[in-house]
Amino acid sequence: MRRNRTERAEYGDFQTPQKLAETVCRLLAESVPYAATIIEPTCGVGNFLFAALKSFPGAQRAIGADINPQYIAKARQRAELESQPIELVQADFFAAEWPRTLLDCAEPILVVGNPPWVTNTHLSKLGSDNTPQKSNESGLSGYEAISGKSNFDISEWMLVRLLDWLNGRNAVLAMLCKTTVARKVLAYAWRSGIQLQSASMRLFDAQESFGVSVDACLLVCTLAPGSCCDTCAVFPSLSERNAASKIGYQDGNLVADVDKYMRWRGLSGPELYRWRSGVKHDCSAVMELRPLGSIYINGLHEKVEIEPDCLFPLFKSSDIANGRIVKPKRYVLVTQTKVGEDTRAIERFAPKTWSYLQTHASRLDSRRSTIYAKQPRFAVFGIGDYSFAPWKVAVSGLYKRLAFHVIPSFEGKPSMLDDTCYFLSCDSEEEAAYLKSLLDSDPAREFYSSFLFPDSKRPVTVDLLRRLDLLALAHILGSEAQLVDFLQRRETGGKYGTEPSALQPVLFG
């Protein structure tokens, strides 16, 4: 079975260079004194198996499996040549009887290797069925059912299953995988009480070894009956002796830096000011306009002359991340004051705007997201009284840096953020500046950074922002009274109020 590019992608087929396999196995032998059984469930041509037998010469048994019969044939040839008694079988991981095989294996068991690096979403695009779902005959559902996730890495599913099967045994699971996969596997182990004795992640250059640009590591999980370890040392390279950080599972959260988190865990608490996302419309060509003198130009390069009532200054993620909070370059059409509001009133108080929306109705009606399906025509999302606050403190969710900015109103109109931004709404400049100073403080930065994995695509999420208790922070910074004062003023009703009806004049003049 010679594989073309698509097939290689389908099977996550990147054979580990012999040298890398040997480096990994030598490293393992430094901390694992003995392995009775060596297993590679997706062994390819067997480079890891041969390397493991070199580093663990006392092993009683070695088993290798791969879905590709040609690889198994090649590995058998090499085993014969090198007189290595390896049991090599052609087997699909998703269909093989690994739990039964493992029961017969002498301990300590070393499961080592490099499972396929491919997501089920990518496989479904390729029309491939190399996924766990096909093991459904037994009533067992796929990983989606275990994890509630619809997009996952095939390797993640394999590693999680292996941990389940090895739980309660004396075993070491040592696998090359993406760092994101390693963290998900560890989170699974910690949440589900897998008896881990220790865990480590050692980063390596996947570009150099496999020609793929992705953050990757050697994940090593040592299991022993009755053990419980909820941290994982992270080493910057395969050779580095000192860990750079320690990730872990604390208070129900995956934490990127356990020491930092322990220092600032007192800042975890309720969300006093609610973090919100910006306005969502999914039709920038029609809904976003650039000012040109007294008129506007839309994304279709059309001149647009409409009433100002529904138009608001718009700042996007790139503006927020780069601190470009000057004269607005864009305006957004906000057709509602709250989600679900009837939009037909626009025809009455802003007829030109209504006619503009009607002219482009086909684009708006064909927005792909199903969220618009049962909503009034031209509806938007991420809208409520909070959107019309005169001041905001915003951060972009598209960038890795936590840069908070104060967003003012312009010409009496509250500024809107796009739906990739998160913000707190404020009544006054003083309140916004104060909240920004809290968020920019060293304790807040350290607290947030204890959760930030630099290799995450989008580490800044609303879940992250919501974890910080501003009152606890104000307390340690000695400004609790100021915060309480702002909170009390909000209680008694700020300028923009809390009642959506009070926003009508702000929005519609």
Ligand X SMILES: C[S@@+](CC[C@H](N)C(=O)[O-])C[C@H]1O[C@@H](n2cnc3c(N)ncnc32)[C@H](O)[C@@H]1O
C-alpha–C-alpha distance, residues 405 and 263, integer Å: 26
Would you count residue 365 as binding ligand X (CB under 6 A)?
A: no
**Quick check: 337 binds ligand X (CB under 6 A)?**
no
For 10, list phi and psi in degrees, rounded to 5. Answer: -60, -35
CA distance 22 to 48: 7
Q: How far is the CB of 182 from ligand X (least distance, A)?
A: 15
* Near ligand X by CB under 6 A: residue from 50, 93, 188, 448: 93
**DSSP calls for 428-453:** SHHHHHHHHHHHHSHHHHHHHHTT--
Long-range contacts of 264-267 (CB under 8 A, 24+ apart): 264/443, 264/446, 264/447, 264/450, 266/472, 266/476, 267/443, 267/444, 267/447, 267/468, 267/469, 267/472, 267/473, 267/476
Please, what is the minimum distance in Å from the beta carbon of residue 192 to ligand X?
23
User: Do 55 and 29 touch, CB atoms closer than 8 A?
Assistant: yes
Phi (first) and psi of residue 259, to 5 degrees: -65, -45
15 binds ligand X (CB under 6 A): yes
Residue 249 touches ligand X, criterion: CB under 6 A:
no
Which of 11, 143, 249, 386 is close enough to bind ligand X by CB under 6 A?
A: 11
Q: Of 109-117, 220-228, 306-314, 394-402, which segment contacts ligand X by CB under 6 A?
A: 109-117
> How many Cα atoms are found within 13 Å in the side-chain-facing hemisphere of 108?
19
Strands 109-113 and 37-40: parallel
The residue range among 40-48, 384-392, 443-451, 469-477 that interacts with ligand X, by the rule CB under 6 A, is 40-48
Query: Rounded distance, CA 159 to CA 193, Å?
Result: 15
Interface stretch with ligand X, choices 60-68, 201-209, 223-231, 270-278 (CB under 6 A): 60-68
Q: Note the maximum CA span of the chain.
A: 88
Cα(4)–Cα(16) distance, integer angstroms: 18
Contact range with ligand X by CB under 6 A, out of 42-50, 81-89, 348-356, 368-376: 42-50
Which residues lie below 8 Å from residue 294, measured CB to CB, with a gap of 6+?
none
Question: Min. distance of Cβ 140 from ligand X in angstroms?
Answer: 16
42 contributes a contact to ligand X by CB under 6 A: yes
Binding test (CB under 6 A) with ligand X, winner from 44, 397, 459, 494: 44
Angle at 490 between CA 496 and CA 410, to 5 degrees: 35
Q: Is 130 in the site for ligand X (CB under 6 A)?
A: yes
Shortest distance in whole angstroms from residue 241 CB to ligand X? 25
Q: In terms of CB distance, is 1 or 295 closer to ligand X?
A: 1
Q: Pick the piece of the chain touching ligand X (CB under 6 A) from 28-36, 90-98, 255-263, 480-488.
A: 90-98
Q: Is 12 in the site for ligand X (CB under 6 A)?
A: yes
In the complex, least distance from residue 90 CB atom to ligand X, rounded to whole angstroms = 9
Task: Choose, by CB under 6 A, the member of 48, 56, 372, 448 that binds ligand X.
Answer: 48
Q: Which stretch binds ligand X (CB under 6 A): 14-22, 213-221, 362-370, 399-407?
A: 14-22
- Cβ proximity to ligand X, 40 vs 419, nearer residue: 40
Q: How many CB atoms within 10 Å of residue 464?
A: 19
* Among 239, 39, 13, CA closest to 118: 13
Q: How many CB atoms lie within 10 A of CB 366?
A: 9
The 10 Å CB-count burial string (b at 16+, else e) for 396-434 is bbebeebebbbbebbeebbbbbbbbbbbbbbbeeebbeb
Of 37, 55, 101, 114, the residue at the interface with ligand X (CB under 6 A) is: 114
Query: What minimum distance in Å lies between the beta carbon of 194 and ligand X?
Result: 22
Binder among 9, 25, 39, 43 for ligand X (CB under 6 A): 43
Piece in contact with ligand X (CB under 6 A), picked from 27-35, 92-100, 189-197, 284-292: 92-100
Q: Please, which residue, 213 or 488, has the CB nearer to ligand X?
A: 213
Nearer to ligand X by C-beta: 117 or 496? 117
Select from 25-33, 44-52, 184-192, 327-335 the region that touches ligand X (CB under 6 A): 44-52
Q: Least distance from C-beta 175 to ligand X, angstroms?
A: 9
45 to 50, 69, 97: CA distances (angstroms): 10, 10, 21
Query: Is residue 47 near ligand X by the rule CB under 6 A?
Result: yes
Calculate Rg over the CA atoms of the chain.
Answer: 28
Angle at alpha carbon of residue 385, lines to 382 and 387, rounded to 5°? 50
Among 102, 111, 113, 257, interactor with ligand X by CB under 6 A: 113
**Contact with ligand X (CB under 6 A) among 92, 305, 342, 463:** 92
Q: Which residues bind ligand X (CB under 6 A)?
A: 11-16, 40, 42-44, 47-48, 66-68, 71, 92-94, 113-114, 116, 130
